[in-house]
Amino acid sequence: MDIFAIVTVLTILSAVFAYVNTKFLKLPFTIGLMIIAMGFTLAIIILGHFENRILVQSKELIASIDFRTLLLDVMLSFLLFAGALHTKLEDLAKQRGPIILFATFGILVSTFIVGSAFYYVAMWMGHPIDYIYCLLFGALISPTDPIAVLGILKDAQAPKKLEIKIVGESLFNDGVGVVVFLVLLSIAQRGIASVDAQDVGFLFFEEVFGGLTLGLLMGWLGFKVMKSIDHYETEVLITLALVMGIHALAVSLHFSGPLAVVVAGIFIGNKSPEVAWSDSTKLYVDKFWELVDVFLNAILFVLIGFELLIITINGEYILLGLLAIPITLLSRYLALKGPISLFSKKLEFIPKTDLIMTWGGIRGGISIALALSLQPEMERELFLTVTYVVVVFSIIFQGLTIGSLVKRILNKQELKKENT
């Protein structure tokens, strides 16, 4: 099936699932789409027992979609730019300390805690795995996706300062998480003995700081170009070209494309509305990127549901996936605890910020895409199944309960204020 036919099928199914969710289920948009997609997939699997051709053709369709390339090389840059474009720099700057630590120190700590714990759990289960491969799992499962949870937090009337922490962390930890994963993947491929610590440090520095510098430079260039004209159609096109150009340039220079796109999006989203854009341009740019965000997330979460067709459903793999859920949650809690404790006196944190951010740290498609990047000898099938179990639990159970958790904590806080 050619690419246009695949996109057509996914778009039609996404629209149908969105209608069913909006009309009947009324679940949060992305969560509802994924649940319906998984239900649809399970129906195909059941029908496949009676008519095998249906199951075979469905698997062939999903297998023909390069999920890793589609997300990491195509969709991720657009999704991150759309999120960054609507992130206020003033709010981000106030929380820059904890956000930077969450997205860097937090990712590194989580990677090593998850990797180490999973290494011993797998050994206890009688399935020993090389430590470096467990660290790769730690790196791919540590980045969080704010999309599924932000709407829920707004409905729960969560404080803005909590919302900006989650958004800011998620915007930057995707890029840092990918860099950490690539560094570990390089070590796994070349062997620890042949890897020089200086080379690893340079690679990390090149990816991260190169990406940040490129994003700032390209964001400034895009801003100057748009400032010189007043034509909303052209300016929308410039933002679109900017995202695609930044990604292509970052890949060729071996910089982090996700970090470059985030920086450019924040720069343009905060600088342009007051200086470079007319009211019409601001309206059309905002609406265009909101629709891009909605469309790509609809496709992404439907695809996550459909990935159920190609993962290895194995009792041992599923059990390891279930054991990985508390490991990833505890690791995230410990990784957040340090930065929160460090800044708790300088910045005002709402009660139980560590608990809310732990439960609100939804894993998404980027974890599955990175798991698909593993080579077969790196326990790819096992880690893909384990990652899928963690992601599904995260999106459905954490995503659907985070709102209630926030409301309960805020209500307790209000009661304490009334009693004092």
Q: What is the mean pLDDT of residues 298-324?
A: 95
How far, in Å, CA of 106 to CA of 98, rounded? 10
**Number of structural domains in the chain:** 1
Q: What is the mean pLDDT of residues 283-298?
A: 95
Q: What is the pLDDT of residue 413?
A: 75
Q: What is the pLDDT of residue 411?
A: 83
**49 in a structural domain:** no
For residue 197, what pLDDT band results from cuts at 50, 70 and 90? low
For residue 155, what pLDDT band results from cuts at 50, 70 and 90? low
Report residue 123 as tokens. 């050994």
**70 in a structural domain:** yes
DSSP output for 310-322:
TS---HHHHHHHH
How far, in Å, CA of 347 to CA of 95, rounded? 8
> For residue 184, what is the domain's CATH number?
1.20.1530.20
Sign (positive or negative) of CA dihedral 300, 302, 306, 312? positive
Q: What is the mean pLDDT of residues 177-191?
A: 89
pTM assigned to the model: 0.94
How far, in Å, CA of 327 to CA of 320, rounded? 10
Q: What is the mean pLDDT of residues 294-318?
A: 94
Boundaries of domain holding 143:
66-419
**241 in a structural domain:** yes
Q: What is the pLDDT of residue 94?
A: 87
In the predicted model, is pLDDT for residue 415 greater than 70?
no
**Would you give the DSSP letter of residue 395?**
I
**347 in a structural domain:** yes
3-state secondary structure 71-121: HHHHHHHHHHHHHHHCCCHHHHHHCHHHHHHHHCHHHHHHHHHHHHHHHHH
Please list, residue by residue across 63-86, b when 16 or more beta carbons sit within 10 angstroms of its beta carbon and e when fewer do.
eebebbebbbeebbbbbbbbbbbe
**44 in a structural domain:** no
**174 in a structural domain:** yes
Residues in the chain: 420
Q: What is the pLDDT of residue 18?
A: 97
Q: What is the pLDDT of residue 16?
A: 97
Q: What is the mean pLDDT of residues 352-375?
A: 93
Rounded to 5°, the CA angle 350-356-359 comes to 175
Per-residue pLDDT tens for 69-91?
A: 999 999 999 999 999 998 888 88
In the predicted model, is pLDDT for residue 152 greater than 80?
no
Q: What is the pLDDT of residue 392?
A: 96
When the pLDDT of each residue in the chain is averaged and rounded to a whole number, the result is: 91
Percent of the chain with pLDDT over 70: 95
**56 in a structural domain:** no
How far, in Å, CA of 370 to CA of 363, rounded? 12
For residue 194, what pLDDT band results from cuts at 50, 70 and 90? low
Q: What is the mean pLDDT of residues 253-262?
A: 94
List for the chain the helix, strand, coil content (%; round to 5).
Answer: 85, 0, 15
**189 in a structural domain:** yes
Residue type at 240?
L
Q: What is the mean pLDDT of residues 154-172?
A: 82
Using alpha carbons, select from 140, 118, 136 the residue that is nearest to residue 127: 118
